[in-house]
Amino acid sequence: MADVAAVHVAAAERQLTELEVFGREVAGCTRCRLSQGRTQVVFGVGDPHADLMFVGEAPGFHEDKQGYPFVGQAGKLLDKLLAGIGLDRGRVYVANVLKCRPPGNRDPVPDEIEACEGHLFRQIELIRPRDFATKLLSGKPAGITRVHGAEQQVTLGGSRVLLYPLYHPAAALYTPAMLKVLEADFARLPELLGRTVAEPVLAAAPQLAPIAAEPAVQLGLF
């Protein structure tokens, strides 16, 4: 993954950003059981001041080995989708909710999300993206089917961002109809990036605006 490596090398050659310093801290995290089975923490990669941040679920086998998010097949599709809207990894930021691989790539469980989400919130605070694209609003396929491609303003970790749920590239890899939807949702990203996020009227906004009728599966970021 030449782009990812180039971003990393460039980072090494200049003074560390606050985000990189935070990344070094997180590299030693032992907040949950996943620290015991990981090869390494997969913190995230990309432009530390990106307007657009992609957040996946958790590192898989290849991500755990290489230390970068989305380096497998799903990552290749992500790169292709980015290229389709004139972007590449050096101009966005890519991370996951969980920074360590769950064994056997199983789904993250609530206490792991709870232990790890502070890391993501801090990343968001430091990067300050305007847009935040994720498939992770709901762990239930029905949830993402309903909310994908519909942006909403939310406060995450104290930062006001436009949350734009997307299908996960891994799912789209094997389902052509889903790929079409994902491409169409991606096509709206340039327009969304041109949009500014209004200041919240009240200081204490909810972490995530709830989506009606699916409270049981709304586990914070999932």
Site string for ligand URA, 95-114 (x = CB under 6 A): -x------------------
CA distances from 37 to 57, 95, 101, 102, 142 (A): 17, 19, 8, 8, 31
The single-letter code of the amino acid at 200 is P
**120 belongs to the binding site for ligand URA (CB under 6 A):** no
Q: Quick one: 107 or 111, whose CB is closer to ligand URA? A: 107
Taking CB under 6 A as the criterion, the residue among 69, 102, 108, 139 binding ligand URA is: 69
Q: Which residue in the shown chain puts its C-beta closest to ligand URA?
A: 56
Q: Quick one: 88 or 153, whose CB is closer to ligand URA? A: 88
d(CA 9, CA 142): 40
The single-letter code of the amino acid at 111 is D
Number of residues that bind ligand URA (CB under 6 A): 12
CB of 43: closest distance to ligand URA in angstroms?
11
Taking CB under 6 A as the criterion, the residue among 50, 53, 74, 77 binding ligand URA is: 74
Q: Which DSSP letter does residue 108 get?
A: P
CB of 122: closest distance to ligand URA in angstroms?
18
d(CA 23, CA 75): 21
**170 belongs to the binding site for ligand URA (CB under 6 A):** yes
Window contacting ligand URA (CB under 6 A); options: 28-36, 53-61, 158-166, 202-210 = 53-61
Please report where in the chains the tokens 């913190």 appear, as a residue: 43
- Tell me the β-bridge partners of 152: 163
Window contacting ligand URA (CB under 6 A); options: 23-31, 62-70, 111-119, 199-207 = 62-70
Q: Quick one: 78 or 205, whose CB is closer to ligand URA? A: 78
d(CA 66, CA 80): 20
CB of 3: closest distance to ligand URA in angstroms?
15
Question: Would you state the torsion angle of the CA atoms of residues 110, 115, 121, 127, taken in this order, to the nearest 10 degrees?
Answer: -120
Cβ–Cβ < 8 Å for 103, 37? yes
| Residue ranges of E strands in 97-219 | 131-134, 152-156, 159-165
Q: In the structure encoding, which two tokens stand for residue 146, read together?
A: 């309903």
Q: Quick one: 27 or 195, whose CB is closer to ligand URA? A: 27
Which stretches of the chain bind ligand URA, using CB under 6 A?
56-60, 63, 69-70, 72, 74, 96, 170
